[in-house]
Structure 1
Amino acid sequence: MATLSMQLSSETKELLPGVVLLQQHSQTAGLSGPRVSLSDGSCQATALTNIAASYGSGAVVPRPPWRTLAGSDVATLVGAEPIEVGQWVAIVQVPERILRHFRAIRDAGLQNKSADVVFQLAGSEEYALGLRELLAEMTARCCKPRYDGAGINTRPTGLSTCTVNSNTGLLTGMHVDTFYSRELELRALSPNRICINLGAEDRYLLFVNLPLREMRRQLEQLGVRDARINDTGRGLAWAFFESFPSYPIVRLRIAPGEAYLAPTENVVHDGSTEDKRLIDITLTILGTFAPDTFRDGL
């Protein structure tokens, strides 16, 4: 991994070089707003009284307002070279030949059906056929897809972040995945994920554009030495947000029929349904996706 030399302060509002957004295709039709926007930093969910009760203790969320990506932040985030392993995010268009198998689920989203209805449809033979075709496509491209630990998910509307702690039923806020639980130095080599928007509206991917190693380096340069900086579960992320509350969170808009690819074991992230009116539906698959895998689409 290339050494990043810039040093953050508690007031930094500009993006540092790190995780890059690859421009995989040019489609922007159907987007109701800018593709990328930045938060005004982060804060604990308890600071936002309208959502505080829905979150677990210590949970961190993006701090509004949002601003459109502009100026030097564009060059920092979009399409930088070289592309480091585990340090890139991409959007791809899912072709109709695959999406057609999920039409019943997509129609359920358009009609704002319940999560129970969506999961019932996910048990159909048509869904299974679509999934087999999708996995075969990924296998042919040497992506080593895995279906365990992933699948169809639904989320309610209006959530600043949308991942729920299954033990408490409360929202987790910004977090890093731990399916593989690799040590920090190997996090960038973890499999990544593809997440397809099967809903009827745009949704968001939220992420901090710094890999975990860089987050820890920034904390060490600031003089933070407590045990949290070695806790890749959540301690490192919470220490970073506490020390750099003005650092922006990236919000990436994903249109219906699009998918994002992201190294969710190596970046702090979450989804968001904040502007949605209809049920949020996604299909997620873990795998080993390279930057060039879907350069011409799925």
Structure 2
Amino acid sequence: MSLKVAHSSPAALAARTQVASVGTTRGDARFEEGAVIPIGPWRSLDHDVIDRLRPGRSTADDIVVEVVGAESIGPDHLNSPGTHMLGKALSVAKSPTTTPNYQDGRLIGLHVDNWDKLSHARKHTGRRRLCINLGPGTRYILLGDVDIQNVCRTVREDHAACYPHTDDLRSYVARGFPLHCLRIRLDPGEGYIAPTEFLPHDGSTEDQQESTAAFWLGRWACGAMGSLV
């Protein structure tokens, strides 16, 4: 499993996390054609899945997901070298995914970021993204359990020379290769640090009120902001 979530309490992680299958959209005006989205029902995590989510001693900080609280984030974290604020985004209520195509407003579904413009060989070295839910509603982070390097190795003969793209993820899912989506609940004042250049991801307000999120990119050691799980 590519996805790794730092946690010391399996019960605390299980209490806020569920898993579902994924599929690609067709003829749904809300989404780009072929967007990868969760397909319910959402299910509780099995104990063996939680065990496999735990990072190993050799797991690089750059590819680990953390669940953090805003009270543990200080100016030193947000002003460290290489860190910059991406901005804030309002997500409307009851949206299964939250990131729009800014040309026409259609949702893009699970995707990979490209802020650091990294090739396939270096995609795992990108900066992680910090997100804090400013409320008023609860929201989720959606995470695919297969990283984009593995996706490209599966669907592209030229993967060694490619720059991974969300289209590669869509091809992977459309061709029936395995991918599951986890969603982790984030109440107001809670957030995540995640390798959004490396893992398929998006936000969600499914069955929730609208909420605003604030985002930063940076390099932080695992545990530097504590953990809620």
CA RMSD of aligned residues (A): 2.8
- The answer (yes or no) to whether the contact 2:94–2:210 under 8 Å persists in 1 is no
Q: Does 1:145 align with 2:83?
A: yes
Q: Does 1:45 align with 2:25?
A: yes
In the TM superposition, residue 27 of structure 1 has moved relative to its aligned partner by 11
Which residues in structure 2 correspond to 1:8-87 (within 5 Å)? 17-23=1-7, 34-39=15-20, 41-46=21-26, 52-87=28-63
Number of residue-to-residue matches in the alignment: 227
Which SS does the other structure have where 1:166 is aligned?
Answer: coil
1:170 aligns with 106
In the TM superposition, residue 25 of structure 1 has moved relative to its aligned partner by 8.2
* Structure with greater helix share of residues: 1
Alpha-carbon displacement from aligned partner over 1:161-209 (angstroms, at most 9, x marks no partner): 1100111211111111111221111111111110001103321000112
* TM-aligned CA distance change 1:139 to 1:174, over 3 Å: closer
Distance in 2, Cα, partners of 1:246 & 1:296: 30
1:156 aligns with 92
Distance in 2, Cα, partners of 1:197 & 1:213: 29
* TM-aligned CA distance change 1:296 to 1:238, over 3 Å: closer
Alpha-carbon displacement from aligned partner over 1:128-187 (angstroms, at most 9, x marks no partner): xxxxxx5x32157x463212xx11110101111110011121111111111122111111
- The answer (yes or no) to whether the contact 1:42–1:245 under 8 Å persists in 2 is no
In the TM superposition, residue 63 of structure 1 has moved relative to its aligned partner by 0.9
Which residues in structure 2 correspond to 1:76-225 (within 5 Å)? 76-95=52-71, 134=74, 136-138=75-77, 142=80, 144-147=82-85, 150-217=86-153, 219=154, 225=157
Which SS does the other structure have where 2:62 is aligned?
Answer: coil
* Matched residue type, 2:15: P
When normalised by structure 1's length, the TM-score is 0.68
* Matched residue type, 2:132: I
1:286 aligns with 217
Q: Which runs of 5+ in 2 are unaligned?
A: none
Which SS does the other structure have where 1:284 is aligned?
Answer: strand
Q: Which runs of 5+ in 1 are unaligned?
A: 1-16, 99-133
In the TM superposition, residue 226 of structure 1 has moved relative to its aligned partner by 7.5
Identity over aligned pairs, percent:
25
1:262 aligns with 194
In the TM superposition, residue 295 of structure 1 has moved relative to its aligned partner by 3.2
Distance in 1, Cα, partners of 2:179 & 2:89: 29
- The answer (yes or no) to whether the contact 2:97–2:203 under 8 Å persists in 1 is yes
**Which of residues 218, 238, 241 is equivalent to 2:173?**
241
Distance in 1, Cα, partners of 2:147 & 2:118: 14
Distance in 1, Cα, partners of 2:225 & 2:33: 39
- The answer (yes or no) to whether the contact 2:3–2:53 under 8 Å persists in 1 is yes
Distance in 1, Cα, partners of 2:19 & 2:37: 13
1:252 aligns with 184
Distance in 1, Cα, partners of 2:60 & 2:2: 9
* TM-aligned CA distance change 1:24 to 1:295, over 3 Å: farther
* Structure with greater strand share of residues: 2
When normalised by structure 2's length, the TM-score is 0.87
In the TM superposition, residue 269 of structure 1 has moved relative to its aligned partner by 0.5
- The answer (yes or no) to whether the contact 1:24–1:90 under 8 Å persists in 2 is no
- The answer (yes or no) to whether the contact 2:10–2:50 under 8 Å persists in 1 is no
